[in-house]
Copies of this chain bind each other. A is one copy, B any other.
Amino acid sequence: MDTATGFLIDGPLTDGFKFRKGTFELKPFEDNDVDIRIESCSICGTDLHVATGEWKDQLYPFTEITGTVIRVGPKVTLVKVGQRVGVGAQASSCGACKPCQSDNETYCQDGIIHTVGSRWPESGIVSQGGLSSHTRVHEKWAFPIPDGMDSKYVSPMLCAGITAYSPLVSYGNISGKKIGVIGLGGIGHFAVLWGKALGAEVWVLSRSRAKEDAAVAMGADGFIATGEGELWHEPHRGDFTLILNTASSATDFDLRKYLSMIDVRGHFISVGMPAEGGFTLSAMDMVLNGVLIGASHIGNRRQVLDMLQLASEKGIKPWVEEMELNEENLILAMKKMMDSKARFRITMTGYSKAFSIA
């Protein structure tokens, strides 16, 4: 097998979403590679960029993949044929640089291959995502899924889930501490679920109260509507150990108010990637509490495995809408994502039917 079948986004779109079936070439099979027959895939914000043509190549999107291993290279030790695995937004890294050598392979300096839209070295073949029958990745990027977990719940953990999880475990123990989550979308809703599972007191910050009920149902301990008045930050001065910014826009974003809510040497970490603008920041804004500002990029293998283990042990179920994979549903699903109406992630299933796999 050196090709796979999938749904291709048909060129940069101006009038809605269109998909057509196509066949694409897989990268040459190497000694550490594994082939995966895909079973489910969730839709990520990144896929909207692909679909609307911000990314140039014609692409098969989706980077929150579960499936079954059907072939392993002769040097593979981490997974076995028949095993169920997940694949997220990254499909390979150089393995040799300082970040790769220190469990920080998502910050690989020269060899990051994204699951969608990167060119594999030597062959130059463009990597394609999970809206397809099969995928081929380096074994390090195939994450064994604990038994008993439903693939439809596992899928969104592999990009949105780990994007929220990694910063919650990378800057010190949050158990017993107060954390804030800005924005309750796909990533934000995972931040609430993981934050609670990790023992934190979790507050959601959102412009309006439209999602307050959902936040509370997810277990949030508090909710702040930042669109109501000017002094919403005042009662919380210095209270938060960590604020995770999952909002995708920096417009009308008064960073100083958020920073004032953080404890000494606490963290303000962005995981949303605002397309426009940024913050203007002076040392004076940070010196009152010595707050640290940063950004986080998905999460390493170790963290993915820990996250899946935590979800398995605690029976954590993300809020997922399941849809059967076909062109019509894809259009519906993408539209829902574009309008921020998914509650809070959509997983496409029924792959064997869609691709006529026995």
- Residues on A lying within 8 angstroms of B by beta carbon are 97-99, 102, 104, 107, 109, 170-171, 237-238, 245, 250, 263-265, 267, 270-274, 277-297
Do residues B290 and A297 form an inter-chain contact, with CB atoms below 8 A?
Answer: yes
Contacts of A277 in B (CB 8 A): 282
Given A170-B265, A285-B295, A287-B296, 5 new contacts (CB under 8 A): A99-B238, A104-B264, A107-B264, A290-B295, A290-B297
User: What are 21 contact pairs spanning A and B, CB under 8 A?
Assistant: A98-B264, A104-B265, A107-B288, A109-B238, A270-B283, A270-B286, A270-B287, A271-B283, A273-B283, A273-B284, A274-B282, A278-B282, A278-B283, A278-B285, A279-B280, A279-B281, A284-B295, A287-B296, A290-B297, A291-B294, A292-B292
Kindly provide the distance from the CB of A126 to the nearest chain B CB, expressed in whole angstroms: 22
| Given contact pairs A278-B280, A283-B278, A289 touches B107 in the complex (Cβ within 8 A) | yes
Contacts of A283 in B (CB 8 A): 245, 270-274, 278, 295
Kindly provide the distance from the CB of A88 to the nearest chain B CB, expressed in whole angstroms: 16
Contacts of A272 in B (CB 8 A): 283
Closest to A167 in B: B290
| Given contact pairs A109-B238, A238-B99, A280-B281, A292 touches B274 in the complex (Cβ within 8 A) | no
Closest to A297 in B: B287
